[in-house]
Structure 1
């Protein structure tokens, strides 16, 4: 009787005070929650599909740690190769939930996703998808981009896209193309690429000395073209970090960039870093928005109460950070890993420290986001990593920055870092509020910066951009085609019923939609 009373009292305390206590509360497989785009693999094609499983106990409470999470996922199906080849990977977020991500290597039918806990099916498992379910490499585009955006679960619009495109209501490249190329074709200092998408094929001509970064937009355009018939369009893309289209120019030039600024009009796209992470998830990239969540080792109370930072010397404020950290070693663990811009000051700010795994950053409770040449592209990974992020005020921004709110998603810092020490001391004295801000930032990243969101943003942006072109879209002299990759051996090109009796050209009806 005493044991029963104690357990009821313990449950009452847990519910009222939200104490992280799970011992004695058994997981109820049927009450567990399963959600995510990976449960709709026939509509949402990605290099790595993913979904989430949240452990829930017999009382309906979400468990807060993963000490008792014994989820097993098995994905099976049929194919022309008899069985369906699938690679499944489980990432434990150590907060009572796991990420299940999986990669298909060819087209599968009658796919079954079975999720069990100690042999018992979880939630509505098994999830059955008759298919066909296509691999990322399969060329089988949906003809209607509006239908595809809906099926993919994309937002209808983004405030940043509306703001970026507002100055460009009607674009006549026939009138401005030559002038734009002449103004920004400066080998050694600027590199741009002129892209044309025609009949869902990608063409480009690049200008400048360093054009290797074209590979990132190449890969995204080809990936999208395999999934949906892209509208015919033309665009200019900036391969450098600094935005180019100054507000002071007599002519406002429509240029797409990875980073925007308060004094330019560049049309902002997701950075090459998060784009590659989305395209190469479960591929050659080790750091992505999912892997970060599955490699955090310390819970909030266990984290070291210091601000952590590593990076190169790409801005004076980063050197100032080292000075501040040396004066307050009890508050900071900050070091430079490479010298390029300020090599003559290495004797003072060195020695440079070896690189450390990004996952180990989150052993520390506080993370610093200090601009590099432009906005620091690590910001999404810092937000999703369960530490409190301190962000330097900056004129530079990425595609999602204006959705964030200071003191809700991050702690703001003055651009000269003069308030940095005070902000760290505030966080140490207000741990509960600091934890809440860190959690809000993580939730924002989980809801807005996952691979699905990156594909959606590109899709909506190109759809909206195509509506503003009034000049004819033509493959220009000197352009080369960016061809679709061949499937990996021993697999053959996939069969696509949508293409058997249809042209992939956009019909007149689809043009009206655009």
Structure 2
């Protein structure tokens, strides 16, 4: 009998939820991948298993519990990269990137060969990222359930009730060049043109790519804008700020903020040239909360004095802090004071630790969204710098605040150790916020909302300067196939 008990226990560990407990009809599947016209570089959906009593299953079902496939009802095979991410709690993220496909699509979600929820899902208006088939803005934003605007956009555009096109370009070039690198963009008839100023303009690719991807999906209004290609925000004028767009803001400047090139590029290159994105982190959050190492953790280069100070604290207090510098570039290396430099590790390995220390780099640390979405408590340094979403967050609700000089790091880590319940509550609120508000659709919706409101404030005619070059769309064999209903809606919106 004892032998049979051990066999049964071993089977329970290997298969914690029997397949018979999973209800194919009660299991929930939802997300923009299942909506016509909700075109993004990578389409995604969410799966959560339910049992036959309609109770949510919160146990890990294994990596292969659900299978996601896509096909064309007429043509059959669709060239696509498909992935299902296991979140280890009965829920999954399914995602796929299509190549040279436009038109109808069938999405299948199965468990043990049987369809779940309302699968198969038949869609008529689905296009891969490289397909040029832009929709009227109302249709596209409705399909993605984009909000009408954002708090940060409203705040950034308050000083710019009217943008005079006849003068703003000349004023921006005179004020910010040649000491800074900027690019002047014009979007006309949904085509992209630009002229760059400055000595280092390589980062223009981080503005070219989202603009081209957006104009393949949605019809943007004609408008002009300038993007700051550097990390530091530029507009310091308090009396008459110029409307320059940056990827990072600060309390002492008045730049108009877009989502950082880092998180935007992670959306554009998802299932492509990047491995770190808002979804991949959710499937790689390390041990369960109770098994994580209860230390403050940091890895990064020496781009700020406070990072060195943190490394020094780690040398003296290794029981509370595990912080190390991965590369010395700005400051002199001093292993006696700051400890030995270490090799970079996978970002996913960060989450072996329960407490993540978010310390500024040259500006805001662009890793912050990924730290929030993981299963760890984030400690954030007080900072003048911010990304597009920071002002939605509250200290002690979404993160544990740290003084700018980090003098209270050890005190705050000790607090978290003693207040496990509150620490877990903060972590869950932060993770819920990030998973709800920093998805790929949210990043694209934010870009579109800013461009729309920016264009609405411009007075004058948008011009393509002789000095501008056209930013060409990639070549593709994908063809735009609009249904009669979509064409009818397009005509209505244009009228």
When normalised by structure 2's length, the TM-score is 0.91
- Report the Cα distance in structure 2 between the residues aligned to 1:198 and 1:67, rounded to whole angstroms: 50
- Report the Cα distance in structure 1 between the residues aligned to 2:439 and 2:130, rounded to whole angstroms: 20
Are 1:135 and 2:131 matched, yes or no?
no
- Report the Cα distance in structure 2 between the residues aligned to 1:104 and 1:263, rounded to whole angstroms: 43
Residue 214 of structure 1 corresponds to which residue in structure 2? 204
- Report the Cα distance in structure 2 between the residues aligned to 1:23 and 1:109, rounded to whole angstroms: 38
Aligned with residue 86 of structure 1, among 75, 80, 83 = 80
Q: 1:417 to 1:349 in 2, by over 3 A?
A: same
Aligned with residue 313 of structure 1, among 302, 312, 315 = 302
- Report the Cα distance in structure 2 between the residues aligned to 1:430 and 1:35, rounded to whole angstroms: 36
Tell me by how many angstroms 1:471 deviates: 2.4
Aligned with residue 168 of structure 2, among 148, 168, 176 = 176
Residue 189 of structure 2 corresponds to which residue in structure 1? 199
Tell me by how many angstroms 1:125 deviates: 1.6
Aligned with residue 45 of structure 2, among 38, 51, 58 = 51
Aligned with residue 267 of structure 2, among 278, 285, 294 = 278
Tell me by how many angstroms 1:78 deviates: 4.0
Please say if residues 193 and 471 of structure 2, whose CA atoms lie closer than 8 Å, have aligned partners that are also in contact: yes
Please say if residues 194 and 469 of structure 2, whose CA atoms lie closer than 8 Å, have aligned partners that are also in contact: yes
Aligned with residue 29 of structure 1, among 24, 31, 34 = 24
**Unaligned 5+ runs, structure 2:** 1-14
- Report the Cα distance in structure 2 between the residues aligned to 1:349 and 1:136, rounded to whole angstroms: 46
Please say if residues 247 and 260 of structure 2, whose CA atoms lie closer than 8 Å, have aligned partners that are also in contact: yes
- Report the Cα distance in structure 2 between the residues aligned to 1:135 and 1:255, rounded to whole angstroms: 32
Tell me by how many angstroms 1:60 deviates: 2.7
- Report the Cα distance in structure 2 between the residues aligned to 1:68 and 1:139, rounded to whole angstroms: 38
Tell me by how many angstroms 1:508 deviates: 12
- Report the Cα distance in structure 2 between the residues aligned to 1:231 and 1:282, rounded to whole angstroms: 30
Please say if residues 268 and 398 of structure 1, whose CA atoms lie closer than 8 Å, have aligned partners that are also in contact: yes
Taking the TM superposition and a 5 Å limit, the aligned residue runs for 1:101-500 are: 101-129=95-123, 131-142=124-135, 144-187=136-179, 190-248=180-238, 250-343=239-332, 345=334, 348-487=337-476, 492-497=477-482
Tell me by how many angstroms 1:384 deviates: 0.6
Tell me by how many angstroms 1:68 deviates: 5.3
- Report the Cα distance in structure 2 between the residues aligned to 1:459 and 1:268, rounded to whole angstroms: 13
Equivalent position SS for 1:103 = strand
Q: Tell me the alpha carbon deviations over residues 241-274 of structure 1, each in whole angstroms, 9 at most, x when there is no partner.
A: 11001144x4311110001111111000000000
Q: Tell me the alpha carbon deviations over residues 41-90 of structure 1, each in whole angstroms, 9 at most, x when there is no partner.
A: x311112111111112233332223145711222222466x532222111
**Unaligned 5+ runs, structure 1:** 1-20
Tell me by how many angstroms 1:498 deviates: 8.1
- Report the Cα distance in structure 1 between the residues aligned to 2:335 and 2:258, rounded to whole angstroms: 35
Please say if residues 91 and 295 of structure 1, whose CA atoms lie closer than 8 Å, have aligned partners that are also in contact: no
Tell me by how many angstroms 1:497 deviates: 4.0
Tell me by how many angstroms 1:418 deviates: 1.3
Report the more deviating stretch, 258-267 or 69-78.
69-78
- Report the Cα distance in structure 1 between the residues aligned to 2:134 and 2:17, rounded to whole angstroms: 49
- Report the Cα distance in structure 1 between the residues aligned to 2:491 and 2:243, rounded to whole angstroms: 27
Q: How many pairs does the alignment contain? A: 476
- Report the Cα distance in structure 2 between the residues aligned to 1:264 and 1:292, rounded to whole angstroms: 32
Q: Tell me the alpha carbon deviations over residues 336-390 of structure 1, each in whole angstroms, 9 at most, x when there is no partner.
A: 0111111365664353210100011111111011011111000000001111100
Residue 39 of structure 1 corresponds to which residue in structure 2? 34
Equivalent position SS for 1:343 = coil
Equivalent position SS for 1:289 = coil
Tell me by how many angstroms 1:105 deviates: 1.2
What RMSD over aligned residues (CA atoms) do the two structures have, in Å? Answer: 2.3
4+ residue segments displaced more than 3 Å: 21-25, 344-348, 495-499, 506-510
